[in-house]
Amino acid sequence: MSNIVLIGMPGVGKSTAGVVLAKLIGYNFIDTDLLIQEREHRLLSEIIANDGIDAFLRIEGEVNSAIETDNSIISTGGSVVYVEKAMEHLRKIGKIVYLKLSYETLESRLSNIEGRGVVLRKGQTLRDLYEERTKLYEKYAHYIVDEEGLDVEETIKKIEEVLGLNNT
C-alpha cells in the first residue's frame, strides 16, 4: 500500500496517532499542517485570523494537492475535506482512514477551539461543524475507525486491523 491518509475532526488524534503508527510500521510521517506552516512561515491560527477562512482553505488545498510521496502516513488538517480537488488527490495516492469520535467526546477534547485555529464560520457552532463535516468525512473515507473509549495505542491497533497491517 502506498500511503495512509488520516482524516477527521480536529482533536481526534490524526497527528498523535499518525506519527506513532508511522514508527511502528516503518513508514514516513507527513503532517500537512506543518507543510502549510513551512510554506507560509506563520502559524495556522495566524493565517486564519489574518487572511480568513477562504484563503486558508485555498492554501490547504494547494499544499495537499501537491503531496507526492510513498510509504507515508499523512495526517491532514480537519478542514481539508472542504477542498474537493485535494481530497481526490489524496484518494489517488493513499487509503483514506476517517478517525471518528462522538460529538460529546470531541467537545471535551476541544476546550480551546479558537486557540487551535479551527475553520469555523461566523455563527457556526462546534455541533454545526461536526454535523456538516461528518458527511464529508464519510464520503471520502475508504475506512472508518471508531475510536470511542480507546486510548492512542488501542486506536493505532484498530487502524492496523482495518488496513490488514497486523501480523500477530
Ligand X SMILES: Nc1ncnc2c1ncn2[C@@H]1O[C@H](COP(=O)(O)OP(=O)(O)O)[C@@H](O)[C@H]1O
Ligand Y SMILES: O=C(O)C1=C[C@@H](OP(=O)(O)O)[C@@H](O)[C@H](O)C1
Count of positions on this chain that bind ligand X (CB under 6 A): 16
Q: Which residues bind ligand Y (CB under 6 A)?
A: 10, 14-15, 33, 44, 77-79, 116-119
Q: Work out what residue 119 binds among Mg ion, ligand Y, ligand X, none; the CB cut-off runs from 5 to 8 Å by kind.
A: ligand Y
Q: Which helix (H) or strand (E) holds 52?
A: none
What is the residue type of 152? V
Q: Does residue 58 have a known ligand-binding role?
A: no
Q: Is 151 in the site for ligand X (CB under 6 A)?
A: yes
Q: Work out what residue 61 binds among Mg ion, ligand Y, ligand X, none; the CB cut-off runs from 5 to 8 Å by kind.
A: none
8 Å CB contact between 7 and 79: no
CA 156 to chain centre: 15
Residues 6+ apart with CB under 8 A from 79: 56, 57, 60, 118, 119
**Strand, helix or coil for residue 57:** helix
Binding site for ligand X (CB under 6 A): 8, 10-17, 75, 109, 147, 150-152, 155
Binding residues for Mg(2+): 15
Binding residues for ATP: 11-16, 116
